[in-house]
Structure 1
Amino acid sequence: MGLFVRILLFTFALLWLSGCAYKAQEAPAGSWQAQKTTLTKLQQWQLSARLGIITADERGSLSLFWRQNSDDYRMNLTNVVGKRVFDLTRSQGLVVITDSEGQLHQATNARELVFRLTGWDLPVEQLSYWIKGLPGEADQVEYDTDGRPKTIVAHGWRLRYLGYTRIDGLWLPSRIDLTHDDTTLRLAINQWELKP
């Protein structure tokens, strides 16, 4: 075999190997990894869900409505008969909760305000991206066979993603369990609505 042929074969082998390495790093079309950028940019959405809350002292089931608009959001919780538990809004950094009696409470930290009023430790600030299946940069993540988050450990919470659904071409969570100390949250999302 001539030197030119050997060089040519060697060059083709290098190109083939580099092509394989490049393709191996690409996410499969339609996979969660391929859609991560789209999910990150998704700033306007809303959902309705059932939220189960289990603590050392109580157990309850609530209806959750969440509307996200960039950094601002509205989270409304009602009980099984439709009575408001609380309505939480964040606008321009100010958090306001309207309680079941119609009283207004203000703060800059949603999690602390919810805990003070209800005794529930809800990771409100993190939920806006966890609920989309997006881990934070410092979160510990385990992925499923399709490359989607399976578990996330962060801020003292452990999340288990128990189901996904395809909405407008995106994989979004449909069931999430969250645990922290003696608090367990079970979220079953009934409906997603995405806005460009």
Structure 2
Amino acid sequence: MTRPLKTLTLISVVLLLSACAAFRPQGGQEHLQDRLSELEHWQVRGKMSVRTPDDGATGYLDWQQQQREFDIYIAGPLGQGATRLSGDGHSAELTLPGWDEPRSAESPEELMLLYMGWNFPVSDIRYWVKGQPSPRGDAVTTYDESGLLSSMEQYGWEIHYSRYSQQNGFWVPGLVKVSGYDFRFTFSIREWTLYD
């Protein structure tokens, strides 16, 4: 390689790296965590897959969250096998495929345990999906060089994050993997809509 070509290649690489760095978040971990706390009204669309000791399934996900009110709708291919979990801080409703009416309980955790046999902290995943530990308990967190949460352990669950993008000034993950107690949940988020 000639000297001018080497110099041009080096300049190109430096410019490319500089451009990539410009699209990464600036600021420390606390700053990014504080910003996520402001985000309370949002919607995500994408796919969700679940692996249990006995089964596995993938569906299309549409999740709307406004403070403590939530509506999580999961549909199988071609809209078959639709499941809906909705509620607020006082009650929750679950509709599974084949049910004529939803079942209700005081919490989504109670519904999941009663009808699906899953002991899963449903009320906390609204924080986890944003890339943030739940404020209701201690967490062990690991951040990348940009101050974005890359992994976390809370309540015995391990959560891994990737594919971050900037939406309305917030850095939100596009892939969230939750595992623990022989369960694996994967949220592959295609679209974030932020209303805050």
- State the TM-score bracket (shorter-chain normalisation): 0.7 to 0.9
Where does the alignment leave 5 or more consecutive residues of structure 1 unmatched? 1-27
Structure-2 separation of matches of 1:32 and 1:166: 16
- Report what 1:127 is aligned to: 125
Share of identical aligned residues, percent?
Answer: 24
Structure-2 separation of matches of 1:77 and 1:49: 10
Structure-2 separation of matches of 1:60 and 1:168: 32
Structure-2 separation of matches of 1:132 and 1:63: 18
- Report what 2:61 is aligned to: 64
Q: Please tell me whether the aligned partners of residues 51 and 57 of structure 2 are also in contact (alpha carbons under 8 angstroms).
A: yes
Where does the alignment leave 5 or more consecutive residues of structure 2 unmatched? 1-24
Question: Which of 41, 44, 52 is matched with 2:41 structurally?
Answer: 44
Structure-2 separation of matches of 1:80 and 1:30: 41
- Matching of residue 75 in structure 1 with residue 69 in structure 2: no
1:133–1:116: structure 2 CA closer, same or farther, 3 Å change rule? same
1:58–1:184: structure 2 CA closer, same or farther, 3 Å change rule? same
Q: How far off is 1:117 after superposition?
A: 1.8
In the TM superposition, 1:15-26 aligns within 5 A as none
Q: How far off is 1:151 after superposition?
A: 1.0
- Report what 2:142 is aligned to: 142
Q: Please tell me whether the aligned partners of residues 64 and 72 of structure 2 are also in contact (alpha carbons under 8 angstroms).
A: yes
Deviation digits for residues 138-162 of structure 1 (CA, Å, limit 9, x no counterpart) = 1111111111111111112100113
Structure-2 separation of matches of 1:182 and 1:35: 31
Structure-1 separation of matches of 2:74 and 2:161: 22
Q: Please tell me whether the aligned partners of residues 121 and 183 of structure 1 are also in contact (alpha carbons under 8 angstroms).
A: no
Which structure's residues are more often strand, by fraction? 1
Structure-2 separation of matches of 1:127 and 1:56: 21
TM-score, L = length of structure 2:
0.78
Structure-2 separation of matches of 1:170 and 1:65: 20
SS of aligned partner of 1:179: strand
Deviation digits for residues 5-25 of structure 1 (CA, Å, limit 9, x no counterpart) = xxxxxxxxxxxxxxxxxxxxx
Structure-1 separation of matches of 2:32 and 2:147: 11
Amino acid at match of 1:110: P
- Report what 1:12 is aligned to: none
SS of aligned partner of 1:135: coil
Q: Please tell me whether the aligned partners of residues 48 and 188 of structure 2 are also in contact (alpha carbons under 8 angstroms).
A: yes
- Report what 2:10 is aligned to: none
- Report what 1:11 is aligned to: none
1:122–1:82: structure 2 CA closer, same or farther, 3 Å change rule? farther
Task: Single out whichever of 142-151 and 97-106 deviates more from structure 2.
Answer: 97-106
Q: Please tell me whether the aligned partners of residues 32 and 148 of structure 2 are also in contact (alpha carbons under 8 angstroms).
A: no
Q: How far off is 1:36 after superposition?
A: 2.5
Task: Single out whichever of 179-188 and 97-106 deviates more from structure 2.
Answer: 97-106
Amino acid at match of 1:124: V
Q: How far off is 1:92 after superposition?
A: 4.8
Kindly tell me the number of residue pairs found equivalent between the two proteins: 169
Task: Single out whichever of 185-194 and 56-65 deviates more from structure 2.
Answer: 56-65
- Report what 1:102 is aligned to: 100
Task: Single out whichever of 177-186 and 107-116 deviates more from structure 2.
Answer: 107-116
Q: Root-mean-square deviation (CA), in Å?
A: 1.9
